[in-house]
Amino acid sequence: MIEPVVDLDQIPALPGRVVLADVRYYLDGRSGRAAYDGGHLPGAIFVDLHHDLAAPASPAEGRHPLPDAAFFSERMASLGLSDDDTLVAYDDAGGVMAARLVWMLRATGRSAALLDGGLSAYAGKLETSSPRLPRGSFAVRPWPAERLATIDDAASGGSVLIDARPVDRFRGENETLDARPGHIPGARSVPCRDNVDASGRFATSDVLRERFAAAGVTADADVISYCGSGVTACHNLLALERAGFGPGRLYPGSWSQYSHTDRPAEVG
């Protein structure tokens, strides 16, 4: 398995055919597709987080549930991705959106990484045409149970539970996306956007290790990562790997599922 984060100059040495994927997505309603059409890395395909990487939203499952494995396989094949490809994904937000695709591929045994620095890592002329890759061969692989956590797992208190949302939403402030404010009792705030600097480049493995250790992560800890809807939580999971820890588990429903229940919540 390749490293979860790669530099632009490492791409030529990656195994197999390398496919670049633009996974820009905006919580404020802007169109990721429009941003892609306005300029993207040469040869990059567009992957729509909402439509390609998630099942329909519902209060019972959250805003971005994991899609059915067969649906995911079909979407990736139709975009031209095959099992033996290496995918490098990026966005313009430090990888916090693109991490969802990278995590999904790595969790099912594929070769995938985030591009360190994202869109801004490329200094050349951006491309506006959309490549059309021939249909790929992408097998249906079930989501591995050992990489996932349920709402009961997240609420049990038996794991190190880390919350990837900005600290104000963790505290219960400025909640505009989900049913109620706060966080799951016992969770530690580890905002994923602090994994990168202002340019979108990742902190070193040593710095990341210190961040996670301060949140109670140890070498043998069972770590569950969540966020608002199971997207940016993947960024923390990739950062955990970069820091030398185990892969951790994703709670896909995250706060967008939990906040629709009558389970206890904490603020502050």
Task: Give the model's pLDDT for residue 170.
Answer: 97
CA distances from 135 to 74, 76, 159 (A): 10, 9, 41
Q: How far apart are the first and last CA of the chain?
A: 39
Residues designated as active site: 227
pLDDT at 1: 84
263 belongs to a structural domain: no
Residue 199 lies in a domain: yes
- What range does the domain containing 45 cover? 5-121
Domain termination residue (choose one: 89, 121, 153)? 121
Report helix, strand or coil for 22: strand
52 phi and psi angles, rounded to 5 deg = -95, -25
The dihedral over CA atoms of 112, 256, 178, 229, expressed in degrees to the nearest 10, equals 0
- The DSSP-derived string for 129-195 is S---PPP------PPPGGGB--HHHHHSSSSEEEE-S-HHHHHT-S--SSSS--B-TT-EE--GGGG
Q: Are residues 90 and 175 in the same domain?
A: no
Q: Answer yes or no: is 136 within a domain.
A: no
Any idea what the Cα angle at residue 153 is, between residues 106 and 69, rounded to 5°? 35
**pLDDT tens over the chain, length 268 residues:** 899 999 999 999 999 999 999 999 999 989 999 999 999 999 999 999 999 999 999 999 999 999 999 999 999 999 999 999 999 999 999 999 999 999 999 999 999 999 999 999 999 999 999 999 999 999 999 999 999 999 999 999 999 999 999 999 999 998 888 889 999 999 999 999 999 998 899 999 999 999 999 999 999 999 999 999 999 999 999 999 999 999 999 999 999 999 999 999 999 9
Domain identity same for 158 and 72: no
Q: Are residues 157 and 246 in the same domain?
A: yes
Structural domain contains residue 170 = yes
Are both 111 and 161 inside the same structural domain? Answer: no
Within this chain, do residues 106 and 152 fall inside the same structural domain, yes or no?
no
C-alpha separations of 208 from 197, 242, 251 in Å: 12, 8, 21
Q: What pLDDT is stored for residue 174 in this prediction?
A: 87
Helix, strand, coil distribution of the chain in percent, nearest 5: 30, 15, 55
Q: Are residues 72 and 28 in the same domain?
A: yes
Say whether both 104 and 149 belong to one domain. no
Residues 86, 166 within the same domain: no
Query: Are 249 and 176 part of one and the same domain?
Result: yes
Residue 203 belongs to a domain: yes
Out of 121, 155, 178, a domain closes at 121
pTM, full prediction? 0.96
Q: Is 73 within a domain?
A: yes
What's residue 258's pLDDT?
Answer: 98
**Do 101 and 115 contact (CB within 8 A), yes or no?**
no
Same domain? For 90 and 185 the reply is no
Please report, for the domain that includes residue 223, its CATH number: 3.40.250.10
Helix 205-214 with 233-242: angle, nearest 10 deg: 120
Asked if residue 163 and residue 248 are part of one domain, the reply reads yes
Q: Which of 221, 238, 232 is nearest to 63 (CA)?
A: 232
3-state secondary structure of 20: strand
Q: Are 156 and 257 in contact (CB under 8 A)?
A: no
- CA dist 157 and 163 (Å) reads 14
Q: What pLDDT was estimated at residue 181?
A: 96
Question: Is 167 part of any domain?
Answer: yes
Identify whether the C-beta of residue 188 lies closer than 8 Å to the C-beta of residue 199: no
Q: 26 with 93, same domain? A: yes
How far is 57 from 44, CA to CA, in rounded Å? Answer: 27
How many structural domains comprise the chain?
Answer: 2
Whether 240 maps to a domain, the answer reads: yes
